[in-house]
Amino acid sequence: MTDALLIPQKRYATAVDYLNLMKPRIMMLVVFTGFAGLVAASSMTGVSMHPVMAAIATLAVALGSGAAGAINMWYDSDIDAVMSRTSTRPIPSGAVPRDEALALGLIVSGVSVMLMWLASNWLAAALLAFSIFYYGVIYTMWLKRATSQNIVIGGGAGAFPPVIGWAAVTGNMPLDAWILFAIIFFWTPPHFWALSLLAHKEYAKVSVPMLPVTHGAKVTRTQILIYTLVLVPVSLLPLATGLGGWIYGAAALGLGAAFIAYAVRLTRSKAGGPDAEGADMKLARNTFVFSIFYLFALFGAVLVEHAAGLHFPLVGV
């Protein structure tokens, strides 16, 4: 084999590289939950927002998420280059220089907060700014490489979008908005730990103290079950406040039961352990994929109820 085959070819950055820098898949989930919060707020309070302003506020949430993603990729480019899962990202692949990634993150952060302020109000803009800081600095720079609870505390960053959406419409943050926050907050650990069961060797290689690395696979699987058992009752709270109706209730119960079933099976498996078999790892992967479906479907139920006029609450609002 010649050296030319071993050295990666120099490639020039395209717009897609810059888009990938903003973690578009995470962005989709963030936009979806933020939009659900926005629609639910309008339906619950009767306060309407100009549709164009609502669209721009949603775009601002997407840009804010992307900016935080770019800052994360800038800071983590050293470990991304070592882990095979992340080695093809724009910075380690050599397509985008680190400084450009940071510049993109900072500029888009400013633009997103400004757009949010102009489209809605200062509270939503301040929450968006704080959530970018939370992900880009608190999680990425302070927690991720320091504690095995990184994803638990850092999960707060991803939980802000529905609160931001709610604040964009009403200018305040009532209990219902924080219930939506809590759902994403308690969903994040089982979601991410299912992935880290698959990638724990990679995290160990770069000394990132993810739970399976520091406490082992068995503890991680148990923690996944515990957080799922907390998540399901939390997901039923909207029924008590009137935010969720019959459709949401049925979805939350069905999806919650399925999530618990996955978590129980995962706890009984050897996924992530040294003696894990193919079926165990497949189960961890399926749990991870299902967790994404779970959140989309749950917030989809909120959207359907409040956007399509199908909101029939179980309790008086």
Partner 1 sequence: MPEMPDPVVPQLDAEAVKARNKRNLWLGLALAGFVLLVMVMTFIRLNTAAGVSERM
CB closer to partner 1 out of 120 and 140:
120
First CA to last CA across the chain, in angstroms? Answer: 71
Q: How far is the CB of 196 from partner 1 (least distance, A)?
A: 34
User: Which of 60, 167 has the CB closer to partner 1?
Assistant: 60
Least distance from C-beta 50 to partner 1, angstroms? Answer: 6
Name which of 111 and 229 has its Cβ closer to partner 1. Answer: 111
The separation between CA 211 and the C-alpha centre of its own chain, rounded to angstroms, equals 18
95: closest CA among 217, 34, 13, 200? 13
C-beta of residue 130 within 8 angstroms of C-beta of residue 163: no
Span 55-74, contacts to partner 1 by CB under 8 A = 56, 59
Q: Which of residues 197-236 bind partner 1 (CB under 8 A)?
A: none
Cα 2 to Cα 106: distance, rounded to the nearest angstrom:
41
Nearer to partner 1, 66 or 92 (CB): 66
| CB nearer to partner 1: pick between 116 and 255 | 116
**Is the Cβ of residue 7 or residue 12 nearer to partner 1 in the bound state?**
12
DSSP state of 7: S
Of all helices (H) and strands (E), which one includes residue 193? helix 175-205
User: Is residue 298 within 8 Å of 235, Cβ to Cβ?
Assistant: yes
- Residue 92 tokens, joined: 């380690």
CB of 119 to partner 1, least distance (A): 6
Least Å distance between CB 306 and partner 1?
23
- Figure out which of the listed residues 4, 52, 99, 316 binds partner 1, where binding follows CB under 8 A: 52
d(CA 233, CA 25): 27
State which residue, 56 or 219, has the beta carbon closest to partner 1.
56
Q: How many whole angstroms separate alpha carbon 253 and alpha carbon 85?
A: 34
**Closer residue to partner 1 in complex, CB, 56/236:** 56
Q: How far is the CB of 13 from partner 1 (least distance, A)?
A: 7
Tell me the helix, strand and coil percentages in the chain, rounded to 5.
75, 0, 25
Site string for partner 1, 5-44 (x = CB under 8 A): -------xxxx--x--------------------------
Q: Which of 25, 50, 201, 282 binds partner 1 (CB under 8 A)?
A: 50
Number of residues that bind partner 1 (CB under 8 A): 14
* Contact string 102-141 vs partner 1 (x = CB under 8 A): ---------x---x--xx----------------------
Query: Of the candidates 145, 140, 128, which has an alpha carbon nearest to the alpha carbon of residue 70?
Result: 140
The DSSP output letter for 160 is -
DSSP string for residues in 211-225: HHHHTHHHHHHHHHH
Closest distance of CB 20 from partner 1, Å:
14
Query: Which conformational region is residue 315 in: left (phi greater than 0), alpha (psi within -120 to 50 degrees), or beta?
Result: beta
Interacting residues toward partner 1 by CB under 8 A = 12-15, 18, 50, 52-53, 56, 59, 111, 115, 118-119
